Amino acid sequence: SMAEWGLEPRLSESQSHAGTGTQPVHHVVDSTILECLFVLETSFYFLNIFSHGVLPPHCNQRFLPCEIGCIKYSLKDGIIADFHHFIDPGEVPRGFRFHCQAAGDITHKIPISGFELATANHSVVLRELYTFIQPHWGTWPPVYCKSDDHFRVNWCLNHMAREAVNHLVLLSAEDLVVDLYYQKLQKEPSKTWVCNTLDASMWDYSVNTRCRWHEENDVLFCALATCKKIAYCISNSLANMYEIQLTSSHLPLREKDSQSTINPKMIVLDAGQPVSVNVLNWHIGKCPLITKYFLLLGSLSNLVIELLNELTNLFKACMCLVLNYRS
C-alpha cells in the first residue's frame, strides 16, 4: 500500500478539510507554476543568513547578521548565479560579546569586529540582494530556505530592512522538494526523507561550494555553501525523474563524474523499506560526517585505553607503597 512506502495521495482541499471546520491551507508553491510545462526552466532562489550566535528572547536584537548567501537555480540549468556578502553586525549588545564570538568560533569563524571584508551598510547589501533576485520591477519571485533556518533568516531580513521595506517572502525548501516530487509522481515523499536529504553532508568539501574566504580558511560553515548544497541535493534526487542532463552547474564535478545520482523511485519509496547501501551512497568514503564520527570514536577508544593504562600504573604504584610501608 502507499502507507507502507511512505507515500500518501494528496487529497483535494474539499476532501482534506471536510468536517473539520477549518479553512484549506494553500500549498507554499504556486501550483500553476509547478503544473506548467516550463517547470524545468522555473528559477528558484535559495537564501541563508548567518549570525554571531542567538541572543535571548528578552533582547530586542535576537541575531547579529554576519554573512548572506543566495543562489539562483533551475532544474534545467542548475546554479545560474550566486550572491554573497559578509555583513558588519554593528554594535554588539553589552554583556554578549563573548557569547557571540564563541558561537562564531565554533561555526563560521567570522570575526565579530574589524573584519575588512564586511559591509557596514545593511541597506546596500539588501538593495544588491533585491537587484540579484528581481532585476526588473514586477512580481517578486518566492525565496526558499530550510525550515530550521527560517526564523533567523526572516528576522535578519526584517532587521536589515528596518529603514526600507522587506519585499521577500520566505518559503520552505522542504515543501518545494515535496511539490517537485508530487508534480511528477502524484504522490508525496516522506517528509523525514526530504529533511534528511537536504541535510546531506557529502558535498561539504566539494570545490566551488564555499565562498573564497571560507574555502581558504578551510571552514565548513558558509552561508553560500548551504544554499548551493540545497541545489546539489535537488539535482541529485530529481535528475532521473525529470530527465535532467547533469552538468557542473547541477553537481560538483567529482560527484557528477562518479555517477552518484540517486534513483528517485528508490528514494520516494523509502519508509520502512530496506534500500541498497550502494544506492544511497552511505559508505564512509562518500559521507564525511560518518568519517568524522568514526575518527572521533577511534580517538575516544585510544583515550580510554590510555586512561586504563594510567590507572593500572597508578594502582601498581600504590601497591608498591603499601608493601614498602608494611616492610
Rounded to an integer, what is the distance from CA 324 to the centroid of its chain? 64
Partners of 118 in the beta sheet? 86
Query: Measured between alpha carbons, how far is 171 from 238 in angstroms, rounded to an integer?
Result: 20
Per the structure block, which three cell numbers stand in for 51?
549570525
Buried b (16+ CB within 10 A) or exposed e, 251-269: bbeebbeeebbbbbeebbb
Residue at grid coordinates 566539494: 206
The answer to whether the predicted template modeling score (pTM) of the entire model surpasses 0.75 is no
Query: Measured between alpha carbons, how far is 276 from 263 in angstroms, rounded to an integer?
Result: 11
Residues 66-77: tens digit of each pLDDT: 999 999 999 999
Query: Measured between alpha carbons, how far is 138 from 166 in angstroms, rounded to an integer?
Result: 15
Q: Which of 155, 175, 156 is nearest to 26 (CA)?
A: 175
pLDDT at 222: 98
pLDDT at 299: 56
Per the structure block, which three cell numbers stand in for 249?
552547474
pLDDT at 186: 85
Residues 194-239: tens digit of each pLDDT: 999 999 889 999 999 999 999 999 999 999 999 999 999 999 999 8
Using 50 as the pLDDT threshold, list the residues of the chain that sit under it: 1-9, 12-27, 32-34, 36, 255-287, 291
